[in-house]
């Protein structure tokens, strides 16, 4: 007879009016020790056993911690996230510098190949490591690197084909692409970067409008402001949709 069946049987005997002394005597005849008998009788009477009473206490010591996470998870998260982002920015700057240094000696086809391979490679690797391998920091950094290469590609393509556009327009296109990626992946560093790009585009548009009153330039000035409100609202909405333990802050 297993312990569960024994507890149920003793509970039934107690309900029928059997005394504890009689139950103790009967269990002693079956070579049960005193501590085991006391534990079984407590369970039969509905009192929690010693192991059961200790279990909630152990679980309540760190209710907000997940298994395998360090005690200083919040500090570790901020530090690792910032280091990953700085690494992505430095790598992106290095790639752009390498391409710019050899720009004149490179054909247009090779230039476009470098841009698209760098952008798609970083995006693909970032999405795979973040969403398939659960390597959040590495994935965020690679996605951010892809976003940087995307923006650099906009200006480099404009230079290749001698497109006559103002630099705030390039930042606006970069902002739109960054917003799409940020909303699709819900990677907050990319959304924060989108706000910075919007600021650059807005300031640039204001500088141009201060000199000219062309309708196109007026539109280029108003649109970044509207996009800034849209992106800020999107970041707030995404944050509010997450449970508190999953919200990222830095």
Predicted pLDDT at 2 = 61
Is the distance from CB of 230 to CB of 207 less than 8 angstroms? no
How many CA atoms, within 13 angstroms, populate the side-chain half-sphere of residue 227? 27
For the CA atoms of 171, 172, 174, 178, the dihedral, rounded to the nearest 10 degrees, stands at: 130
What value does the mean pLDDT take over residues 30-58?
63
What value does the mean pLDDT take over residues 220-236?
68
Q: Which two tokens stand for residue 77?
A: 């998260």
- State phi, psi for 134 to the nearest 5 degrees: 60, 30
Contacts of 20 (CB under 8 A, 6+ apart): 14, 41
Task: For the chain, give the percent of residues with pLDDT over 70.
Answer: 70
Residue 66's pLDDT band, with cuts at 50, 70 and 90, is very low
Look at residue 150 and tell me whether its pLDDT is greater than 90. Answer: yes
Predicted pLDDT at 242 = 60
Residue 147's pLDDT band, with cuts at 50, 70 and 90, is very high
Look at residue 75 and tell me whether its pLDDT is greater than 50. Answer: no
Is the distance from CB of 34 to CB of 55 less than 8 angstroms? no
pLDDT by residue (tens digit) across 181-197? 988 888 888 888 888 88
- For the whole model, what pTM was predicted? 0.56
What value does the mean pLDDT take over residues 128-148?
87
């Amino acid at each position: 007879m297993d312990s569960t069946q024994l507890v149920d049987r003793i509970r039934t005997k107690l309900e029928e009016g059997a005394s504890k002394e009689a139950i103790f005597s009967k269990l002693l005849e079956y070579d049960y020790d005193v501590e085991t008998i006391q534990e079984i009788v407590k369970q039969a009477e509905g009192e929690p056993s010693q192991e059961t009473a200790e279990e909630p206490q152990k679980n309540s010591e760190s209710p907000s911690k997940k298994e395998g996470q360090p005690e200083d998870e919040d500090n570790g998260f901020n530090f690792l996230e910032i280091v990953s982002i700085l690494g992505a920015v430095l790598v992106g700057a290095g790639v752009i510098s390498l391409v710019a240094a050899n720009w004149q000696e490179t054909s247009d086809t090779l230039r476009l190949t470098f841009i698209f391979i760098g952008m798609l490679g970083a995006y693909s690797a970032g999405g795979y490591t973040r969403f398939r391998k659960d390597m959040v920091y590495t994935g965020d950094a690679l996605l951010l690197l892809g976003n940087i290469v995307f923006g650099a590609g906009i200006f480099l393509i404009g230079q290749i084909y001698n497109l006559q556009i103002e630099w705030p327009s390039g930042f606006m296109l970069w902002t739109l692409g960054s917003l799409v990626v940020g909303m699709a992946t819900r990677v907050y560093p990319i959304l924060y970067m989108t706000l910075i790009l919007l600021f650059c585009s807005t300031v640039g548009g204001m500088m141009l409008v201060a000199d000219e009153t062309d309708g196109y330039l007026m539109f280029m000035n108003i649109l970044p402001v509207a996009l800034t409100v849209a992106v800020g609202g999107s970041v707030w909405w995404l944050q509010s949709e997450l449970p508190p333990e999953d919200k990222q802050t830095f």
